[in-house]
Structure 1
Amino acid sequence: MALDGVEVLIRTIADDGAAILDGWLASLREGSSLQSGRIREAELQTQAKAVLGQLRDALGSDGADADGEGYASLRETLADISRSRALQGFTPSDTANFVLSLKEPLFEALLRTGGADASNLASGIWAMGKVLDQLSLHTMEVFLASREEVIGRQGQEIAELSTPVVRLWDGILALPLIGTLDSARTGVVMENLLQAIVDEEAEIAIIDITGVPTVDTLVAQHLLKTVAAARLMGADCIVSGIRPQIAQTMVHLGVELNVVSKATLADAFAVALRRTGRKVVRQQAAVAEERR
């Protein structure tokens, strides 16, 4: 009598589980997971053994519906594996292959246990493909979500590191900007600058845009927001690093910064020193002036 595909699969895993596990581990060893050194063989064996056992239990509980409640424990195990591999730097192919590589040893086991009955074999293969494909998709969804989370966190950290506020002198700060200035980064820039103004009790903040590739109306608006916020905190702003090409572009676009601007950071620093009642002189000239 023909058996249901799920029943065939459960019986196959129960009768030939050791051989299936050995074949699965052999397939995983041939992949790049172990060769990359990101995971130890003992850990890989533990993961494979746990997944195969949970798969057998889930098949008996919810059949071939990998989205069912009976698969909750297995899905969580695969999610943990996917998240850890996303943090360890595994490729999407390596992660998906963890589940998909189980197909071959399961297929071979089905041939051994039910190959004489073509109907049972076909139904078992169908159930195997349906379940493993669903589990593989779940694995990849968790992996990609984890990767996006990691990339987003790294992007935020890079944005914070790429907007340092430098103390040039007592009461004078410099904020060198590198790269494109968008809305998200403007928030980080503004927060860092305002906090530095408070901490240093700064009077002047120099915003250097030498490393900003282009300045259009949107970038200019972001700069003006930063300048306005700094003024509310009691600090005047000077924009430096406007190159000839950027100046021409701003003129053609009709962009007006409405703030003191200088070509170089050195020029802006000189202006800041004058505004704070300081000046820089050569040492020899200073000694000569004292002798008079």
Structure 2
Amino acid sequence: MSAPSTVTPGGTGLQIHRIILWALLLVFAAFFLTPLYVMVSTSFKDLDQIRNGNLMSIPTSPSFAAWSKAWSTACTGVDCNGLKPFFMNSVYLVVPAVLISTAVGAINGYVLSKWKFRGSEFMFALLLFGVFMPMQVVLLPMSQVLGYLGIASSISGLILIHVIAGIPSTTLFFRNYYVGLPDELVKAAMLDGAGFWRIFWRIILPLSTPILVVTLIWQFTNIWNDFLYGVVFSGADSKPITVGLNNLANTTTSVKEYNVDMAAAMIAGLPTLLVYVLAGKYFVRGLTAGAVKG
């Protein structure tokens, strides 16, 4: 005698709901990925196919010619050296600015969470005010400070600006994360004779990997994609990639080369895209790790 078949109540309904959910996710994914597809496909087309085809058509003869021109010979105003100088300026700017602002934020968060002093909460509130302050408010005072220091229109000036602008956010990230670490770790280390810096380097920092990844990605993205500070405070030889991309797209030529513009946009966006593709899951884990207490 065969065993009776088991029927899961609501099994069919659950499958339908899952199919609907996947369908909606695919629709939203297609909606958000369509502009990226248009940019990539257009960058591999020649001008004839762009004129005779449509936005969604696949390149018939893919070529890196537009990418090569955008990188090395495209005109940005009167300068026809492509995006390479602007890209390198962004590299020279982003690396030290991200590292310095992250390091200062880690130390600030450590102090404000584990070594509280009179007025520490008020100081933290002032730093939080900096998170929500519009960037346009600080343009004039920043320009005066840079002029006084003699680093106006330079990479060094841009590094200083982004470090100062990033400290409130990095402090907030690390402070909220360190609040969730047991205070007993610090007290036990103090009983063993460890001081401020030894506790930070030997105990706190090794436990900071999740929030460290979050802060590095956050700062890298903000600084690399910044346009306002770059266009206001940079000089002729210190313009970042966003300014170079804007100049390239707005340079008037006899023929509008959409493939070069799209290739230039992809070059400008590839670093942040790669960062999120390679480290996106760690970004989400770090955010959730620091979101419990604070």
Note whether the superposition's TM-score is higher than 0.5.
no
TM-score class, shorter: under 0.3
With the length of structure 1 as denominator, give the TM-score of the two structures: 0.26
- Which structure: greater helix fraction? 2
TM-score if structure 2 supplies the norm length?
0.26
Highest CA radius of gyration, 1 or 2? 1
Q: Which gives a bigger RCO, structure 1 or 2 (Cα 8 Å, sep 6+)?
A: 2
